[in-house]
Structure 1
Amino acid sequence: MDSKVRRAPDAEWVLMYRLGLSRKRIADLVGAEPATVGYHLVIARRQDPRLEAAHLAAAGTNPKPSASSLACMDEIIAWIEAKGRLPRERSEDKSERSMARWLSDRRREAVQGTLHGAYREGLAGVQGWGRNHRAAAEEARWHRRLAQLVDFREEGNDWPRHRRCDSEREHTLGVWIHTQRSKHRRGKLEAEKVKLLDTAVPGWQAGRTRGRPPRQ
C-alpha cells in the first residue's frame, strides 16, 4: 500500500491546493495519481472545513450567484415562512421537490465551505435549513469504516468475510465491503468513493480468491 495513504493528508499537497492548484495539477507536479491526491484532499477538507473556500478564492472559481438564483432563494424563503416548514424532497408537489433540491445543494456547499456569502446571508434567518444530520452521520460512518478496513489490511489480514467470520470486527468490515462491492456492480457507488477505495485498499473489488487460504 502507498505509504502516503497512511500519512494523509500530505501538508505540501494541501498547501498547493489552498493556493488554488487543481487536484490534477498537483498530481502532475508531484508525480502521483490524481486519485491519491484526491484521497489526501478529502481528509484535509474534513480536518479544515475552510480549505475548500480558500482553494476556490485563490483559484477565482466561486462566482457570484445569478439574479435568477437569488430570486429563487427569496421565493423559497417566502414559501418556508408561509408553510412554517422546510420543503421535502419526497413531496408529491414538483415545485416543492425542486426547492428541496436547491436547499440540498446549498447545504452541501456550506459543508464544503464553498457557500457564497449572498446565500449565507439570505438563509441566515431560516432556522434549521443547514441541518442534514442523517446524511452527515452516514458519510462519517462510511469514512470511519474505510479507515478501519485500511487498519485491518495493514495488520496482514486477508479481506474480511461477511460470513463464517473469526470475529465481530471481521464481520462488521466484511458486511461493509460486501455492500460497497454490490453497490459498485449496480452502478450505485459514487465515483469519489470508488476512487477512495481504489487508493486506500487496492484490490477491494476482487477481494478473496475462492478457496485461497488466509494470509499467514
Structure 2
Amino acid sequence: MAGVRRRAPDPEWVQMYRQGVPVSRIAVLAGAAEATVRYHLQIAARAEPSLRGEHARTVQRPAKKQDERGLKNVADIVALYRVEGRLPSSKSASMRERSLESWLAAKRQQSQNGTLSPAYRDGLREIPGWDTPRRQKEQREQLWNQRFAELAAYRAAGNDWPLHKEATSEQERLLGVWLHSQRITYRDRTLRPDREQRLNTELPGWRQGRRPGRRPQPLPGADTGAPLEK
C-alpha cells in the first residue's frame, strides 16, 4: 500500500519478480513507485545474482507453464467465490487478490472477444456472470435488490407467496417470476451464497412457497389489519 515503509528487499516483490511479473505490474499491485520496486530488486539481485536470470527464464516459459499458473488462478478465484460469494477486488489489502482481479479482468475481455481458453471458461463456469461487463453486473445487482425489496414489502402487507403462472395482478406475476427464478437457481446450486443467506434470513420459507389448502401465510410480524387482542 502507498505510504507504507517496507524493509528492502520486500520478499513478496522479489517472489513476484522471480515468477516473471514485470516491475511495472508489481508497482501497480503494490501501490508503489516503479523506482522503489527497482531499488528493492537491485538489493535482492546483489544478494542473489541468479534472480534476474530466473525472472528471464520464467517470462520465456512455454504456454503450458502459463496455463498451469492460469488454472491455479481459476482455482483460487472459484475458492474465494465459494467461501465469500464474491469475486476478487482491486481494493483488497491482499496483493494476491488484487493480482487475481487484474488477471480476471483480462480473461473477461478475452471472453468478450471470443479468444478465451476453453479450459479457463470451463473452470469459471461455476461463477454466474463472471464475464459480464461491470456496468451490466451493477444493473443486474440493482434489479435483484429491487425485486427482493418489493417481495419483502408484498409479504409484509399480508400477501401469500406470489404465483408466476396464476397471478391475479401484474405485480404478483413479476414477483412470482422473480421468486421462481431464485428457486431454480438454488436447485441448480448457482445461487450466490450471500443472496441465499439473505433470502433465508429475511424471507424464511421462500423455497417452499405456498402450502396446498392453507390460507395465505404472511411473514411473522406482518401487519394483517386484524384487531389486537385485549
**Interval of TM-score (by shorter of Structure 1 and Structure 2):** 0.3 to 0.5
State the structure with bigger RCO (CA 8 A, min sep 6), 1 or 2: 1
Output the TM-score relative to the length of structure 2.
0.42
